[in-house]
Amino acid sequence: MRTFSRTVWAVRYLCGALALSMALSLVGFAQQASGQQPAQQLKEYPTTRVDSLVREWTRARDYTGEYLNAMPENGLGFKPTPEVRSFAQQMLHLAAANFNFASRISGQKAPYDLANLEKVPEYNSSKAALTKVVTESYDFMISAIKGLDDTKLDHRVPVQGMNRPVISIVNAAFEHQTHHRGQTTIYLRLKGATPPGEKLF
């Protein structure tokens, strides 16, 4: 009798498990049929200004790296018109500004001669060398930001004849690198290369 009861209990358990499995499968099928996707686990965006800036500058560094990768080696010296910067010079100008802005907010000396960075032959002819210095400029900025806390972002620093909050300097630097990276989109197109897709997030 006891064996019979155990068998009945096992069958009931199995039937219940099968019913539950079928119900969950039907829910998934209904969502697919209606075009709905199952809810995904959302990641939290950084909660401090410093952490959010680090995240966005890391994204910008990786995005600029995609632009550098997209340009063929023989396109580094390319200029759409004679009076403008070459592709490499645009990237070096961007890098020099990253170093300069980061120096202002951190007090750390930049590791390059920024006034002459665009003129260094190696950076204008070697994709590997150009990528290295541009990437270093982003890492220098990210390190400078990590050295701050949220209260220091409101500290004021004299820049361009005005006492500006550090956060405004970081934002100006971000706008600057976006501007010059964006200009190189047309350089890539004119060289027959495909620019990277939008990377907003």
Asked which of 12-16, 147-151, 184-188 is least confident by mean pLDDT, the reply is 12-16
Rounded Cα distance, 19 and 3, in Å: 24
Per-residue model confidence as pLDDT tens digits over 90-122: 999 999 999 999 999 999 999 999 999 999 999
Q: Is CATH 1.20.120.450 what the domain over 49-190 is classified as, yes or no?
A: yes
pTM of the model: 0.80
Rounded Cα distance, 77 and 129, in Å: 14
